[in-house]
């Protein structure tokens, strides 16, 4: 979908979108179109009992004396309380309605009646942002009915604030592209996206100005990454560690760091999972997908920050060389781990990634993302990611960014009492803590590899795949976390 910002509706427009606040209250453009149609639009509103509530949509076919064949009226709710997120969701709802209406060339009047909490430029840009986020499909492996969802060829955002809208849009479009990249990675089947291929796709981001390093098993073994390599050893696809760097801040300023679990397929290893639903484990690299999309977004919008993204990419398979329950591995930190369950593999991957990141880069903070535990789904469902942290300020900022982007997090406890549950009789720790507090003991495990660095762990098992559908995401892989972390960076760490 091509998005433009225009002063007037383009000539070849088949569908016009009007925004209506609760009441309903049509904007000046809506009133003018109603007058031109001889009251056709207002009569349709009355007949349909359209009230302008948020996400309400009214389709009017072939209004009299209007060149476009269709008018869509989209409810905003209370305009005085309209936020940027509301406008984005509205844009997503609009794009979905346009797809359902099989529109090809659409124009939306980005104006509303009465006072609004958003500037005209903010409204226009956020409408476009939401529409772009909704405009996603993953059909590359379809040979028949390849595109069941009609594509909108063009969307004109009609606004008197074109220059300011384009400026705002310039920083939003790369973030949407990063979300789409993360979605593509999560949606890919594991026979097409294995560790080497994931690393190849990450390396392609050098075109955006990122510096990319890819480490193979020999290099990781030299660094002592026995925890990560232990997970990878059962697969015919060797593991990779990818380091992505964006240097947009002051020279020599400490970077901020993001770390992602990248298990491209998780059978559970020797502690094999049940067959039912195992196909979803192609999405067990959702944390790494988010970090990759985020780094692309930061580079794409030329963020004024130094940032590092580190992803550990492995496949957890149960062949004759696979790690066994009861094995003891030595992590890069020198700490030993008794592997009691090979399906608790993500924390082993992250252990070496976290230690490597804090040791090499000395970052201001680290945030890691991982589809780590089923227990977090039991606790929080699919509405919040679990947040665990050793730093109150970082936790507060993540919570606020989550509310602003609808990628919400909920802080969970860490405490020494839980830490005791992962102490081991034969090693420094074990990789599971028993049936109780499973998400917390996983986080306690990770905390042993961060030293004193401010750190947050996001358990995204309920968010990164098979996600709840929203107006801006209808995808199985939603690209969760890219917008959250971009908002965190933009609000607090760019200088």
Q: What is the DSSP string of 145-179?
A: STT-SPPP-EEEEE-S-HHHHHHHHHHHHHHHHHH
Return d(Cα 294, Cα 305) in angstroms, integer. 13
3-state helix, strand, coil in the chain (%, to 5): 40, 20, 40
For the CA atoms of 219, 285, 185, 195, the dihedral, rounded to the nearest 10 degrees, stands at: 30
DSSP helix/strand/coil, 212:
strand
Q: Which of 53, 54, 203, 273 is catalytic?
A: 273
User: Closest Cα partner for 220 from 317, 320, 356?
Assistant: 356
How far CA 287 is from CA of 93, 138, 406, 454, 477, in Å, comes to 27, 19, 17, 19, 11
The closest alpha carbon to 444, from 375, 394, 382, belongs to 375
**Helical H segments across 261-320, by residue range:** 286-300
Alpha helices in 362-478 (DSSP H): 375-380, 392-405, 416-419, 438-447
Closest to 236 (Cα-Cα) out of 282, 200, 190, 283:
190
Q: Tokens for 316?
A: 């957890």
Q: Is 104 exposed, middle or buried (0-12, 13-18, 19+ CB in 10 A)?
A: middle
Strands (E), 100-144: 105-109
Distance of CA 241 to the CA centre of its chain: 21
Give which of 370, 363, 406 is closest to 388, Cα–Cα. Answer: 370
Q: Please say whether the beta carbons of 290 and 184 come within 8 A.
A: no
| Residues 446 and 350: beta-carbon distance below 8 Å | yes
Answer for the pair 89, 3: CB distance below 8 angstroms, yes or no: no
Under DSSP, the state recorded for 454 is -
347 is catalytic: yes
Token pair for residue 131? 């529409």
Which residue in 347, 397, 430, 487 is the catalytic one? 347
Residue 26's region, left for phi above 0, alpha for psi from -120 to 50, else beta, is beta
CA distance 410 to 425: 33
Handedness of CA 431, 350, 201, 133 (dihedral sign): positive
102 is an active site residue: no
What amino acid positions are annotated as catalytic residues? 273, 347
């Amino acid at each position: 979908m091509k998005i433009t910002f225009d002063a007037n509706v383009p000539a070849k427009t088949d569908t016009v979108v009007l925004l209506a606040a609760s009441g309903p209250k049509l904007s000046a453009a809506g009133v003018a179109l109603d007058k031109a149609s001889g009251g056709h639009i207002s009569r349709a509103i009355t007949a349909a009992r359209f009230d302008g509530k948020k996400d309400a949509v009214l389709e009017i076919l072939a209004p009299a004396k209007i060149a476009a064949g269709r008018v869509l009226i989209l409810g905003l709710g209370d305009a005085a309380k309209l936020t940027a997120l509301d406008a984005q969701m509205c844009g997503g709802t609009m794009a979905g309605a346009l797809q359902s209406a099989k529109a090809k060339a659409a124009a939306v009047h980005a104006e509303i009646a009465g006072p609004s909490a958003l500037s005209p430029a903010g409204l226009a840009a956020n409408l476009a942002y939401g529409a772009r986020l909704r405009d996603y499909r993953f059909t590359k492996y379809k040979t028949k009915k390849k595109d069941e969802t009609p594509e909108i060829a063009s969307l004109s955002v009609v606004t008197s604030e074109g220059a300011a809208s384009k400026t705002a849009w310039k920083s939003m479009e790369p973030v949407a592209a990063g979300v789409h990249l993360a979605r593509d990675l999560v949606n890919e089947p594991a026979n097409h996206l294995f560790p080497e291929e994931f690393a190849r796709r990450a390396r392609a981001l050098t075109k955006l100005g990122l510096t990319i390093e890819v480490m193979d098993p020999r290099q990781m073994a030299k660094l002592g990454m026995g925890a990560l390599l232990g997970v990878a050893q059962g697969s015919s696809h060797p593991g990779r560690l990818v380091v992505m760097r964006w240097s947009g801040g002051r020279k020599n300023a400490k970077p901020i760091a993001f770390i992602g679990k990248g298990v491209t397929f998780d059978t559970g290893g020797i502690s094999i999972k049940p067959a039912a639903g195992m196909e979803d484990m192609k999405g067990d690299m959702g944390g790494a997908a988010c970090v990759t999309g985020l780094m692309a977004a930061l580079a794409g919008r030329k963020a004024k920050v130094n940032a590092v993204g580190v992803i550990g990419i492995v496949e957890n398979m149960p062949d004759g060389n696979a790690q066994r329950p009861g094995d003891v591995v030595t992590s890069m930190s020198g700490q030993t781990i008794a592997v009691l369950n090979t399906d608790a593999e993500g924390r082993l991957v992250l252990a070496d990634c976290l230690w490597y990141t804090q040791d090499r880069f000395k970052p201001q903070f680290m945030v890691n993302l991982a589809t780590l535990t089923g227990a977090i789904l039991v606790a929080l469902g699919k509405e919040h990611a679990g947040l665990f942290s050793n730093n109150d300020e970082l936790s507060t900022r993540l919570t606020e960014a989550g509310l602003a982007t609808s990628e919400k997090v909920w802080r969970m406890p860490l405490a020494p009492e839980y830490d005791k549950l992962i102490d081991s009789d034969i090693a420094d720790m074990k990789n599971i803590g028993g049936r109780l507090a499973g998400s917390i003991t996983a986080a306690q495990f990770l905390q042993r590899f961060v030293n004193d660095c401010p750190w947050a762990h996001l358990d995204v098992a309920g968010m990164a795949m098979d996600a709840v559908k929203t107006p801006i995401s209808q995808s199985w892989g939603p690209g969760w976390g890219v917008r959250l972390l971009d908002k965190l960076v933009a609000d607090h760490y760019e200088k």
